[in-house]
Structure 1
Amino acid sequence: MANRSVFASLRGRFAPQADTRNAAGAAAYDLTATHKLAQLAMTGTFGSGYYRDAQAQASTLIELARTIAPEFLARAAIHIREKGHMKDTPALLLAVLSGRDPVLFARTFPRVVTSGRMLRTFVQIMRSGQTGRKSLGSRPKAMVQDWLNRASDQQLLAASIEQAPSLADVIRMVHPRPGNAQREAFYAWLIDRPADVSALPSVVQDLLAFRAGMSERVPAVPFQLLGSLQLSPEQWGEVARMASWQTLRQGLNMLARNGAFGEPAVVTHVAAVLRDPERIRAAKALPYQLLATLRALDPSVSPVLRDALHDAMECAVANVPRFGGRVVVCPDVSASMLSPVTGYRGSATTTVQCIDVAALVAAAIKRSNPKACILPFERCVRAITLEARDTILTNARRLAELGGGGTDCAAPLAWLNARHEMADLIVFVSDNQSCGPAHAKGTPTGMMREWTKLKARNPAARLVCIDIQPYGTVQAAERDDVLNIGGFSDAVFGQMAEFASGRMEATHWVGQIMAQPL
């Protein structure tokens, strides 16, 4: 008989060979430069992660941004800002672009710098020297001046709250030329120079009158500008009535401490704002932000407002599609997923962990696809039963409680193969840092071995791998039946739907970014 080790079944032999190692030291697949930049920018927050510190993230992203085509750099910055709702990484890509293609930079700037916070972040990155120079340069300076002159009074007031750099620092740096007496007085007031009060915008005059005790009417300004004043509970109620959706989400505990919700009418109004679909969309609310708010919510806050936040969560993931066929969702619940989703950032570190985001995605898909199979995994598949009718947060909490152990991204596929299960769409949510069982570089990863076996039974099956950490390697090689995407915004749901329906093929995620209009 012929040598069985030589002529064994070819099943699993056609999986592509691993060409790199991941942060855990295991075999993995590298990404193209454009895909890696997109993945790092869509998940990077410049906070230290489980395997990589913040400086390494920034250095890797800058190095990549200097090597790829400026046009892709511009499209990626816009996509990551508008679809991924990221703040720091689009500003970094824009800063690199300013030195590579000034004309393309000028076209991209207004799409990325859409708020005072983004403006200050861009200036901070430019002056840090990380991207090659410590001054703005003529074109970036002109774009910053233009943003300041075009900004509304409310935008400038909102931008004046935070520091490092402050809005006053930015104004002193670029010397914008005001187009009228009102804006000239406003700039002077913002940088603490003598200003004609009568020429100031009405909202600033209202603030000054209120601070001086000349008016009892609460001005329509960010509450941070009122923090040093002694406001009555009724006045704090007025602050709550005028606040934006994001301000309310972030400030519920503070407002409750100050008695803002003493009047039932205020509670009713705020609850209506929090669950308003239009306001939620306009605020670009990320599901994990709502999870963070609910976790931090003080017991004294009205249950009506807590219920409104739950409704807001349901709305934030309302675009989760219904998929045809058998759906399997595999959230990674290993130890590395217990790190903060936006990294360790000192006192600003979020309480939301990577495992929470994975659990949120799984619970959201379960809500829209009640028959979906949920296979949480670490080194093995963990048993759990979820009810589709439970709230998304309830199911997410149950999944997150499974956390711990090593990582084997092949485990759910091996579980399906051992049971000869059928599947049409399999969704992984992970940091992709599989650490076992070990396979040498130059051989397929365990995940691709198992995927090849599953495809032999399910030729039309598709695999979506959502990466939520900025490490730049994957366990499933990019090909027509495998989609690797990065991010933790609700944009991933739409991309999953495009891929599952066959409308998103070989170009995959990078192709979508390349299609982004400039």
Structure 2
Amino acid sequence: MANRSVFASQRGRFAPQTDIRNAAGAAAYDLAPAHKLAQLAMTGTFGGGYYTDAQTQVRELIELANTVSPDFLARTAIHARDKGHMKDTPALLLAVLSGRDPVLFARAFPKVVTSGRVLRTFVQIMRSGQTGRKSLGSRPKAMIQDWLNKASDAQLLAASVGNDPSLADVIRMVHPHPGSAQREAFYAWLIDRPADVSALPALVQDLLAFRSGVSKQVPAVPLQLLGSLTLSPEQWGEVALMASWQTLRQGLNMLTRNGAFARPEVVAHVSAVLRDRERIKAAKALPYQLLATLQALDTAVPPALRDALHDAMECAVDNVPRLEGRVVVCPDVSGSMLSPVTGYRGSATTAVRCIDVAALVAAALKRSNPAALILPFEVRVRDIALEPRDTILTNARRLAELGGGATDCAAPLAWLNARHETADLVVFVSDNQSWGNAQAKGLPSGMMQEWTKLKVRNPAARLVCIDIQPYGTAQAAERDDVLNIGGFSDAAFKQMGAFASGQMEASHWVGQIMAQPV
């Protein structure tokens, strides 16, 4: 009689075979070029990761951008900027698009270049020659000129902060044609040429008057333009009263050092701004940004402001869906997840790690779905009990403290199967570089083998894998009950909710991007 263990009957769907090796050297599933491009665009930050370096990310993105259709390339660039709130990768995709389809490039440009920061990044990428050309070309130059001429005075002044290239460099390169005497004077001032001060915008005149000591009124300009000046604590308090939500979030330590919060009314105002729902929404606040702020917050910052940031975090995850049925959330807490979520970037390296983001997603889902089962894992499931009513940051911190060990993405599913647990939706948050208990290439991954077993008991179950690193492989093969998405913005929550409720079917993530208007 034949070996029963080899020829045992299988119920349910067959698990697909792996066809590539991941960055850790273990068997995995390759993604289609369009899906891989989207995943890299939503997670790539051009910082060295645990398994790869920045230059490899750039090379892979450019290769993929030249593989997919120009139409999908344009939509991905817009999606990464608008929904993923990314800056560098959309600018790179736009630079590739400029050489592939000038008409689509012109339509996508204003939807991708929404700030001076992205404009300068686009010019930097074009000048590097990595996308195939070192000169801007007539169409890109015309689009940059148009952006400069249509930008508000405040936008141009904000864009003047930063170098390599500076805004002055960009203006000298494209020679925009000013439509008014005021804009002509403004361009001259920005490139350090003689300018008629009386013709400059009022905002610039206010800055010059303050710098020269003629005026004591602090102008409403970016903090970076005031950093080199000597301001009194009262004046720094005025800066705090005028600052935007993002400026306050990023500048709390600096404002504290300079005595901005000496007056109770300033603390009260800033607290109200930081927890204001409309301002949080307008600022497109990302939960991981708030986490970074809280992790870096100086102990001298007034407690009321720390409390306001906690409230802001609760607001920032308001769109986390409430899901039907039994929900299981599996944050990866393995060793590779201890790397910075935006990669190693020298002195600019963030303190927020991949594990912090995974923990944050799990804690946010626990808040919206109190009955959700949380299964943190490395090569095994780690025991932890979370209280849904605790703050999101408290639960996230407890999960992140579990970090370390190898990675086996099959472990949580094996845990569920061993206990004959039910599940309607299983959510993984990982870098997907599973190598513990790895299967040979050509066999189904351990994760898909366990998922196949779970589906026998739970035929309607769905699996969502949120990938937060730009490696381009998966442990769960794409099919109608599996959604692989990339990124660490609120877009992942929305897509998860749509998939769980049956609104996002076979087309999955690529279909969502194709629905993005150009």
Deviations 1:66-91 (A, max 9, x none): 11100000000011100000000000
Q: CA offsets per residue over residues 47-67 of structure 1, 9 Å max, x none?
A: 000000000000000000011
Q: 1:311 maps to what in 2?
A: 311
Structure 2 match to 1:87: 87
Quick one: distance in 1 between partners of 2:450 and 2:431? Answer: 19
- Who is 2:215 aligned against? 215
The amino acid that maps onto 1:223 is L
For 1:275-315, what per-residue CA distance to the aligned partner results, in whole angstroms no more than 9, with x for missing partners? 11111111111111101100111111110000000011011
Which residues of 2 match residues 51-450 of structure 1 at below 5 A? 51-450=51-450
1-side partners of 2:223 and 2:92: how far apart?
A: 29
Work out the CA distance in 1 between the residues paired with 2:3 and 2:128.
64
Deviation at 1:104, TM superposition (A): 0.5
CA RMSD of aligned residues (A): 0.9
1: CA distance, partners of 2:215 / 2:509: 55
CA distance in 2, matches of 1:313, 1:5: 51
Aligned to 1:468: 468
CA contact (8 A) 1:337 1:354 kept: yes
1:186 counterpart SS class? helix
Q: What is the CA-CA distance between 1:438 and the residue it aligns to?
A: 2.0
- The 1-side partners of 2:72 and 2:109 are apart by 14
Distance 2:209 2:5 in 1: 87
Give the corresponding residue for 1:41: 41
Q: Deviations over 1:135-165 (max 9, x none)?
A: 1000000000000000000000001011110
**3-state secondary structure, aligned to 1:177:** coil
**Match for residue 15 of structure 1?**
15
Q: C-alpha deviations, 1:367-392, integer Å up to 9, x for none?
A: 00000000000000000000000000
One-letter identity of the residue aligned with 2:55: Q
For the residue of structure 1 that corresponds to 2:255, the secondary structure is: helix
* Amino acid in structure 1 at the alignment position of 2:413: L
Match of 2:140, SS state, is helix
Shift of 1:346: 0.1
Q: How many Å apart are 1:7 and its aligned residue? A: 3.1
TM-score, normalised via structure 1 length: 0.99
AA aligned to 2:272 is A
Cα distance in 1 between the residues matched to 2:121 and 2:282: 21
Q: Following TM superposition, by how much is the alpha carbon of 1:13 offset from its aligned partner in structure 2, in angstroms?
A: 7.5
Whole-Å separation in 1 of the counterparts to 2:303 and 2:480: 48
| Equivalent residues of 1:233, 1:259 under 8 A apart | yes
Q: Whole-Å Cα distance in 2 between the matches of residues 154 and 517 of structure 1?
A: 28
Question: What displacement does 1:436 show?
Answer: 2.0
Identity over aligned pairs, percent = 84
Cα distance in structure 1, aligned partners of 2:208 and 2:13: 74
In structure 1, what residue type is equivalent to 2:270? V
Paired with 1:476 and 1:360, the residues of 2 have a C-alpha distance of 22
Alignment partners' CA distance in 1, 2:13 and 2:170 = 59
How many positions carry a matched residue from both structures? 518
Q: Is the 8 A contact 2:485 2:492 kept in 1?
A: yes
Amino acid at match of 1:181: A
Residue-by-residue CA offset, 1:356-407 (whole Å, 9 max, x unaligned): 0000000000000000000000000000000000000000000000000000
1:491 counterpart residue number: 491
Contact 1:12 1:449 in 2 (8 A): no
Q: TM-score if structure 2 supplies the norm length?
A: 0.99
Answer yes or no: is the 8 Å Cα contact 2:12–2:456 preserved in 1. Answer: no
| 8 Å contact kept, 2:334–2:403 | yes
Query: 1:2–1:435: structure 2 CA closer, same or farther, 3 Å change rule?
Result: closer
Does the CA contact (< 8 Å) of 1:12 and 1:450 recur in 2? no
Q: Tell me how far apart the structure 2 counterparts of residues 389 and 208 of structure 1 sit (CA, whole Å).
A: 51
> How many Å separate the matches in 1 of 2:324 and 2:156?
48
Amino acid at match of 1:432: N
1:306 match: secondary structure? helix
Moved more, 337-346 or 291-300: 291-300
> In structure 1, how many angstroms separate the alpha carbons of the residues matched to 2:205 and 2:2?
93
Aligned AA (1:307): D
User: In the TM superposition, what is the alpha-carbon distance from 1:9 to its structure 2 partner?
Assistant: 2.7
Whether contact under 8 Å (2:320, 2:494) holds in the other structure is: yes
SS in 2 for 1:370: coil
CA distance in 2, matches of 1:2, 1:49: 48
Distance 2:286 2:448 in 1: 31
Write the letter of the residue equivalent to 1:289. Q
| Alignment-mate amino acid for residue 134 of structure 2 | K
The 3-state SS of whatever aligns with 2:109 is: helix
- In structure 1, distance between residues paired with 2:465 and 2:450: 15
Contact preservation (8 Å) 2:12, 2:455: no
2:408 counterpart SS class: coil
Q: Secondary structure at the match of 1:309?
A: helix
Offset at 1:11? 4.5
| Inter-partner Cα distance in structure 2 for 1:79 and 1:28 | 26
Q: Match of 2:452?
A: 452
Contact map agreement 1:365 1:372 (CA 8 A) in 2: yes
Q: CA offsets per residue over residues 16-70 of structure 1, 9 Å max, x none?
A: 0001110111110000000000000100000000000000000000000011100
| Counterpart Cα distance in 2 of 1:211 and 1:440 | 67
The one-letter code sitting in structure 2 at the alignment partner of 1:79 is H
Once residues 229 and 175 of structure 2 are traced to their aligned partners in structure 1, the CA distance between those partners, rounded to angstroms, is: 31
Q: Distance in 1 between matches of 2:435 and 2:456?
A: 26
| TM-aligned CA deviation for residue 5 of structure 1 | 3.8
Rounded Cα–Cα distance in structure 2 between residues aligned with 1:229 and 1:4: 80
Q: Distance in 2 between matches of 1:85 and 1:419?
A: 40
Q: By how many angstroms is 1:330 displaced?
A: 0.1
**Deviation, structure 1 residue 6:** 4.5
Q: Deviations over 1:208-229 (max 9, x none)?
A: 1111111111111112111121
CA distance in 2, matches of 1:136, 1:122: 10
